[in-house]
Amino acid sequence: MKLIIPEGYKSLLDLKQTEMAIKEVKDFFESSLSSDLKLRRVTAPLFVMRGTGINDDLNGIERPVSFPILDLGNATAEVVQSLAKWKRMMLCDYEIRMNHGIYTDMNALRPDEELDNLHSVYVDQWDWEKVISKEERNLDYLKEIVRRVYSSMVRTEFVIYERYPQIEPLLPENITFFHAEELLEMYPELTPKQREDKVAEQYGAVFVIGIGGEMADGKPHDGRAPDYDDWTTPTVNGYKGLNGDIILWNPILKLAFEVSSMGIRVDKAAMELQLQLRGQEHRSELQFHRRLLNGELPESIGGGIGQSRMCMFFLRKAHIGEIQSSVWPGEMVAHCRKSGILLI
């Protein structure tokens, strides 16, 4: 069992206040993000059909929850793991114009997650996607959008402080950028997670660029599927990758706390290369991949922002189960209860 029990932990909000504050976090942040990025809310699927290439493969080893549909001849549907590729198709199908986009409440099941303070079988995100031009497929534009997303987080933290003054703001005004290769050069003896801990503690909020491709040591900083984020395009600083993670320092758990994965999406050349690097050229025959390779889908940037994780951070909770209702090992439930951590 992987479980962190912070010494002397006591929730700053009771159960009633927590439920009210969860709604306040979600309502304010969603409205702020939508306004800043010009996003329209759309309804998202809970499941998609197997074999279309629409479901997110995450790191390629996680098993999606699946079930047969009687009225479709027992064809198999899969509960989504995220909506990275579905959103890009919707930009096309909904005819979203340049520099506008969509967002949705994404609810997913990931039964292969290792359950701990941060990870649950149930995943809830704001998934968003925005149409961009070919000229905007660059590192400067990625950083601009990251700053806008982060600005919404800073404003949300202040709003919660105004409502619950016992929750004092912690986030720095600005987010700091590092490429994963830079972190490797700075801390070659540490693991990628330990490198994130180092810079997150020092700066409070960082964006780590270039996740998915092999670095100088022959290993990726972390896994990424080959068919949505662009992690191979060279940038002006000589590194590769137009994607990354927003990571905050969590003072309750004392660790780097990822709240968002995002990036500029693959164009035709990047996806062909990334499929080749992963030995998955056969995926080019799937529905999503064909549409992209045929030039039907717009250039885009997008990402996912964890709803429960955001609430967990802003409300200073020690366990994601204090925010969302899910299932946990009996031993974890008992240990949390004994330590004053109430799992919903």
What residues are labeled active site? 56, 110, 125, 245, 258, 261
Residue 268 CA to residue 272 CA, distance in Å, equals 6
Residue 251 CA to residue 156 CA, distance in Å, equals 18
Q: What is the pairing mode between strands 101-109 and 300-306?
A: unpaired
User: Which residue from 163, 74, 65 is spatially nearest to 108, judged by alpha carbons?
Assistant: 65
340 sits in the region (left: phi over 0; alpha: psi -120 to 50; else beta) called left
Q: What is the pairing mode between strands 66-69 and 176-179?
A: unpaired
Q: What are phi and psi for residue 32, nearest 5 degrees?
A: -65, -45
Residue 136, classed as helix, strand or coil, is helix
Query: Distance from first CA to last CA of the chain, Å, rounded?
Result: 19
How many Cα atoms occupy the beta-carbon half-sphere of 232 within 13 Å?
17
Indicate the burial class of 141 (C-beta count within 10 angstroms; 0-12, 13-18, 19 or more).
middle
Structure tokens at 38: 């010009």
Structure tokens at 200: 């997150």
* CA angle at 309 for the pair 227 and 16, rounded to the nearest 5°: 145
Structure tokens at 71: 């009225």
